[in-house]
Amino acid sequence: MKALVYHGPGQRSWEDVPDATIQDGTDAVVRVDAVTICGTDLHILGGDVPAVTDGRILGHEAVGTVVEVGGGVQTLAPGDRVLVSCVTACGTCRFCRESRYGQCLGGGGWILGHLIDGTQAELVRVPYADNSTHRIPEGVSDEQMLMLADILPTSYEVGVLNGCVRPADVVVIIGAGPIGLAAILGAKLFSPSHIVAVDLADSRLEAARAFGADVVVNGGREDVAAAVRGLTGGLGADVTMEAVGYPATFEQAVALVRPGGHVANLGVHGKPATLHLEDIWIKDLTITTGLVDTYSTPTLIGLVSSGGLDTSPMITHRFALDQFEEAYDVFSRAGETGALKVLLTAGS
């Protein structure tokens, strides 16, 4: 089969590799019908995730068709259309029993495209397949479902729910890339009074407006703090979400929140960020971090299936599966290309 293989920082190649096969009884092998690229993949290529080693197939988001199941798989059969979750769950360890699947002790968590071969391939082995896939409802397209593999549950759980967004809140989202835009969609479900999107790229701020932000601020040209103070009587935002992964944007998120507010860190950080406790110890802040657990995926599937959540505008560029090199180039230059999420499909 063909796959997108990591060969060290900055090095990747679409090449021939051995076919994915069943290794354990709880495995399934899934033919990849649609796949995308995540900002985390760019962090890996930037050298920010040293656990990813030379020879690893990248990717942790896919929609596909089951082609083979192990003897211990009980709920799937060849021919089933499934979403492959970005997080794998054994289902029985302490953390899985608490729905903290991202911290799975039984060989799960974020492993696809990280600790084992991932989804940017023609075939993928999915461990603990009963717990780590979701059937695709009738009437839901591969494109719609694919956005529920990672960015929607990540932004919803780590951003919106951890940030405790409530009706009438002022919510500031720093970074209007795919995760930030997904956070806008999730925050809207809780009827905040204002959603403020902050970015340096006007194209992404335009996208943020289209996704539901009612205030957009270009942090390179405008005074973000003044804009937030103007909306909040000088207090600061009720909730801020950091969706970039840079030290400066994390510190900005902390600085923009009001006393008693919530800061939800969504970004993947490759460098240390300073926590200015000397300034904020007195502000009663709640600062949360987290890897997505994907416990919300069934809820989000229900919202998409019923028409309550529209993920289709996320996809801005489409490619065939063998065009990964071009897709990575377009996605990595999002400020120039306007790329949000790229879609790669088999047989295109």
Which tens digits make up the pLDDT trace of 2-15? Answer: 999 999 999 999 99
Number of Cβ within 10 Å of residue 74's Cβ equals 10
The residue assigned the tokens 């560029």 is: 317
Q: Give dist(CA 327, CA 197) in Å, integer.
A: 26
Residues 6+ apart with CB under 8 A from 241: 159, 163, 171, 172, 173, 174, 180, 183, 253, 263, 264, 265, 266
Alpha helices in the chain (DSSP H): 39-45, 94-97, 129-132, 142-146, 151-154, 178-188, 202-211, 224-231, 247-256, 277-280, 297-306, 324-332, 334-337
Query: 312-336: per-residue pLDDT in tens?
Result: 889 999 999 999 999 999 999 988 8
Tokens of 181: 């835009």
Q: Give dist(CA 45, CA 93) in Å, integer.
A: 31
CATH number of 2-150+293-345: 3.90.180.10
Query: 67-106: per-residue pLDDT in tens?
Result: 999 999 999 999 999 999 999 999 999 999 999 999 999 9
Query: 102-145: per-residue pLDDT in tens?
Result: 999 999 999 999 999 999 999 999 999 999 999 999 989 999 99
Tokens of 129: 């397949």
| CA 15 to chain centroid | 26
Identify the band that residue 338 occupies on the pLDDT scale cut at 50, 70 and 90. confident
Query: 218-266: per-residue pLDDT in tens?
Result: 999 999 999 999 999 999 999 999 999 999 999 999 999 999 999 999 9
Task: Give residue limits of the domains in the chain.
Answer: 2-150+293-345, 153-288
Correct CATH for 153-288 of 3.30.310.50, 3.30.70.20, 3.40.50.720, 3.40.50.10440: 3.40.50.720
Which residue, 241, 245, 243, is CA-closest to 165?
241
- From its phi and psi, is residue 8 left (phi > 0), alpha (psi between -120 and 50) or beta? left
Asked if domains 2-150+293-345 and 153-288 share a fold, the reply is no
Q: Give dist(CA 178, CA 190) in Å, integer.
A: 20
